[in-house]
Amino acid sequence: MAVFKPENVEDFYEIGDVLGSGHFGQVRRVCERASGTCWAAKFLKIRKSACSRLGLERSGVEQEVEILQAIQHPNIVTLKDVFESRAEVVLILELVSGGELFDFIAEKENLLESEAIEFMKQILEGLGFMHSKNIAHFDLKPENIMLSDKVSPHPDIKLIDFGLAHRFHQGEEYRSTSGTPQYIAPEVINNEALSTAADILSGLSPFQDETDEETLKNIIALNYEFDAQSFSMTSSMAKDFIQKLLLQSPRSNRCFCLFQPITRKQAANRNRSSINMKNFKKFNARRKWKMSFNMVLMCNRLVQLRLPCKGSSDPDPLQRQCESDVEDTESKPASLLRRRLISSS
């Protein structure tokens, strides 16, 4: 069982700037008072009562902590410590200061396929390690693939956000419909029993459509094509690799092995192949815009959630019980949406 320290986190760490925010709270830079070393603290709101619509169940956070403790790997963010107060759990994590991989790439003039493969290799090493321990991430997406630092010319990949991750036990059937529409596997949408094979990722979602509903339909129908503009400079080996990842059934051996050039011609082709940066930059800008848009939607949902509490002259007892939660989140609207929508085993 993971140990959650009851002490006040601020007695040990000085709290600094916000590094990012997720559905359930903020991530802040913190500096350890004793050593001066900086870390990232993930503040997670905990649901106070069963009726509460706010925050996470403590058991979900315990799961995230236990999984992080089980997967210590150079390409996976490290968990140092956990603190717990009445309303919050704080995870002290390795500070990953290189930003998102996609932002790093979008700033480059050009990216060779061989460089992309080096990143891919590290992502697959991290993932492969998790999978060898029967743990699936279930929320693999560009925002959760970060780089170790901004100074090194070849920073390391760090996978983050294990909030949806799950450890499979022998013979267990696990279903979950949580995830991010563009990157979700067909078996998640179909509410089928899941396995680690659901951890698939493509940078430029080939299924992306006008609406989330259309996107999900495309995934189910395996409706995608290699858009001529985006893939004109991509080698046929790389396309073949992507096709093998995008198989409909998790049992059909989605390929996680890296594609190695066999012939000289293939090796030369790879060296000449590169990523279409113009398209990538466009895609990344659209992705960022969508993230901001989703944040606004979340805030609007928060406002809607709060209206009945405020407006009603005679709130029902359950609602009253939840009111203190609402006050707690005054300054953190993003922490309202539930991460685990439906999951069962």
Among residues 139, 161, 199, 325, which one is catalytic? 139
Please report whether residue 126 would count as binding ligand ATP according to CB under 6 A.
Answer: no
Half-sphere exposure in the Cβ direction for 59 (13 Å, CA):
5
Give the rounded distance of the alpha carbon of 331 from its chain centre: 23
Q: With CB under 6 A as the rule, give the number of residues binding ligand ATP.
A: 19
Q: Which residue has the tokens 């989605």?
A: 254
CA distance 128 to 147: 18
- Least distance in Å: CB of 325 to ligand ATP? 17
**Nearest CB to ligand ATP, comparing residues 93 and 238:** 93
Task: Name which of 146 and 246 has its Cβ closer to ligand ATP.
Answer: 146
Could you say which of 60, 126, 155, 163 contacts ligand ATP (CB under 6 A)? 163
- One-letter-per-residue 3-state SS of 142-158: HHHEEECCCCCCCCCEE
DSSP 76-109: BPPEEEEEE-SSEEEEEE----S-BHHHHHHTSS
Minimum separation from the CB atom of position 99 to ligand ATP (A): 8
End-to-end CA distance of the chain: 20
- 61, 93, 185, 194: residue in contact with ligand ATP (rule CB under 6 A): 93
Instruction: Provide the token pair at 165.
Output: 């991750």
Q: Is 288 annotated as a binding residue?
A: no
Burial 175-200 (b: 16+ CB within 10 A, else e): ebebbbbbbbbbbbbeeeebbbbbbb
89 binds ligand ATP (CB under 6 A): no
95 near ligand ATP (CB under 6 A): yes
What span, in angstroms and rounded, lies between the C-alpha atoms of 107 and 67? 33
| Member of 84, 113, 161, 199 binding ligand ATP (CB under 6 A) | 161
Measured CA to CA, the distance from residue 258 to residue 276 in angstroms comes to: 21
Distance (Å, rounded) from C-alpha 307 to C-alpha 97? 39
Q: Which stretch binds ligand ATP (CB under 6 A): 20-28, 218-226, 239-247, 282-290?
A: 20-28
Active site residue 227: no
Per CB under 6 A, 77 contacts ligand ATP: yes
In the region spanning residues 323 to 342, those forming contacts with ligand ATP, defined by CB under 6 A, are 339
Shortest distance in whole angstroms from residue 227 CB to ligand ATP: 27
What is the rounded distance in angstroms from the CA atom of residue 188 to the CA atom of residue 57? 22
- Residues in 130-149 at the binding interface with ligand ATP, rule: CB under 6 A: 143
Question: Going by C-beta distance under 8 Å and a sequence separation of 6 or more, which residues neighbour residue 170?
Answer: none
Convert residues 96-115 into a mask of x (bound to ligand ATP by CB under 6 A) and - (unbound): x-------------------
Q: In angstroms, give the least distance from the CB of 276 to ligand ATP.
A: 26
| Residues in a beta bridge with 23 | none
Site for ligand ATP in 25-54 (CB under 6 A): 27, 40, 42
Active site residues: 139
Which residues sit at the interface with ligand ATP, rule CB under 6 A?
A: 19-24, 27, 40, 42, 77, 93-96, 143, 160-161, 163, 339
What residue numbers does the annotated binding site cover? 42
What residue numbers does the annotated binding site for ATP cover? 42
